[in-house]
Structure 1
């Protein structure tokens, strides 16, 4: 049982006992069964209130939870003080039996509401379910890739960007790696996060939610996206498959980049530098500005030269596209 549930269970027991004791005194012990039943009912009602409140509070930040706890404590202290002085000055006998439950619940709700507001939890850290646009959950691969920062900068990302703490911890672990390549990638990811937070037109939310019963980071990301009705942004092929199977929409930056590449049709001609030899004996290989590989028949003898080529075919693969061509007229 979590600390929050334990605290509220104790409050439930105190409230139920106090209500029962007050009714016993007011009725001269003549309605003992009714009073006990009333106390049990109020205790159970408070327990169910706590149960569903805990689900709500699990989406809040630590600061908001502290505010709610302080507000609850202040509300309980106020109620006990009110009840104590009512007993001393003899006002409790004049109150109807339902006065204390109403006062207690009213003060409790007010205390929690004020505590949440003061603690920065006036709204959920991610209010994606009420936003017009879906929020976007970023995974490690999308952050390290870095293009998400450029995409959001030009206004193609709508809604909040959600980054869970367990992804940040993963980035920090990569940045602290002894492997120089991993270290560079991790630091690049942290720098991309910083750039996203500095953008005025995008809202980045760091959420503390961690699913302790789930070990795999990929499954945690899918679960988080489902809970907030968010889209998942990733470059991971396997994560894309898992998310699609569970009904989570995936935005793959690589697929977006492939879709934005210029259309090249067979029969078109272009100029390209032959960078290296191909697999076959006479083949040469070149690359377009976007990284697309171009295989050039009879291009091996032109390595390190810029030549005219004619496109013969274009093949689309899961990782991109490959262009096949032949050497064109050098005078074109």
Structure 2
């Protein structure tokens, strides 16, 4: 029991203790009512204590976030009450001062970065635009993984790791987003992605990633995810059938006669009978567009 408690987060231990207390109180109330039954009356309180104590622990730990959410109105009520008192105490306050006192978005809403999204580099450009609100939280175990990759004997991994460290330094020097480093670690978990999900649960933050598997695992465990691949697909220009564009055929497609071109944002264009125009810049007419998990794909044919 001591070993298991040592592995559990403190908020789970507190929730379990509260649930155990509630379960034992209910067991005592019900057990007293059944204690006078002949023969089995002496055993019923013990059974109730075991069953209700166990249910109290498991239910409060699993439903901790939902249960604490029921009491979120208390700090909001106290905050609104304090604001009303301030307004009554200073009724002649200037409109500008009232605007300054108005609540803004939570500055401590944490966004957690995983290793892959840091190495990817696009997150730095997104931060520069000012679209990221709140605080970027960089766990120490992510930094250690980046350092491990940067020190790898493999040249490609070493380059990726150093790029990630450079991107992280650029983000920290940005004036449009606040960055914090946390030393929180989970010794009972070996995988960095699993640690990141656990930290997201602990701080109530969102994970920014471009890792498809981490995206799914985090969502299954109740952690919100911001996937920059989905963001990139969402802001790509929309094309409609009949629209024309100028492209350069760079390689052959999977089907006979097909040619493949790419837009500046990386969108693949499959051109019917485009193979005959290899390495040529031609005007094509869009016939259809397909949205896939990997991104948007456009089908076209040479314009006549």
- TM-score tier, shorter chain, comes to 0.5 to 0.7
Offset at residue 236 of structure 1 (A): 0.7
Q: Please tell me whether the aligned partners of residues 133 and 158 of structure 1 are also in contact (alpha carbons under 8 angstroms).
A: no
- 1:235 & 1:196 partners in 2: Cα distance? 17
Indicate which of 229, 234, 249 corresponds to 2:204: 229
Match of 1:81 in 2: none
Match of 1:188 in 2: 163
Residue 252 (1) aligns with residue 227 (2): yes
Residue 300 (1) aligns with residue 275 (2): yes
Indicate which of 273, 283, 290 corresponds to 1:315: 290
Taking only aligned residues, the RMSD between alpha carbons, in angstroms, comes to 1.7
Aligned pairs for 1:19-168 (under 5 A) are 131-132=106-107, 134-168=109-143
Equivalent position SS for 1:304: coil
Equivalent position SS for 2:247: strand
Residue 242 (1) aligns with residue 217 (2): yes
- 1:254 & 1:244 partners in 2: Cα distance? 16
Offset at residue 131 of structure 1 (A): 3.2
Equivalent position SS for 1:136: strand
- 1:170 & 1:252 partners in 2: Cα distance? 20
Offset at residue 278 of structure 1 (A): 1.3
Alignment coverage as a number of residue pairs = 203
Offset at residue 134 of structure 1 (A): 2.1
TM-score (ref. length: structure 2): 0.64
Structure 1, residues 241-288: CA drift from partner, whole Å, max 9, x if none? 010001111001111011010001111111111111112221111001
Offset at residue 201 of structure 1 (A): 2.4
Structure 1, residues 109-165: CA drift from partner, whole Å, max 9, x if none? xxxxxxxxxxxxxxxxxxxxx935621000001100111111111101110000001
Match of 1:286 in 2: 261
Q: Please tell me whether the aligned partners of residues 150 and 162 of structure 2 are also in contact (alpha carbons under 8 angstroms).
A: yes
- 1:133 & 1:151 partners in 2: Cα distance? 19
Equivalent position SS for 2:249: strand
Indicate which of 273, 277, 298 corresponds to 2:248: 273
TM-score (ref. length: structure 1): 0.59
- 1:201 & 1:235 partners in 2: Cα distance? 22
Equivalent position SS for 2:250: strand
Offset at residue 181 of structure 1 (A): 0.9
Gaps of 5+ in 1: 6-129
- 1:225 & 1:193 partners in 2: Cα distance? 19
- 2:282 & 2:207 partners in 1: Cα distance? 42
Moved over 3 A (4+): 130-133
Structure 1, residues 284-311: CA drift from partner, whole Å, max 9, x if none? 1100111111111111110111111111
- 1:281 & 1:153 partners in 2: Cα distance? 44
- 2:121 & 2:285 partners in 1: Cα distance? 34
Indicate which of 212, 215, 222 corresponds to 2:187: 212
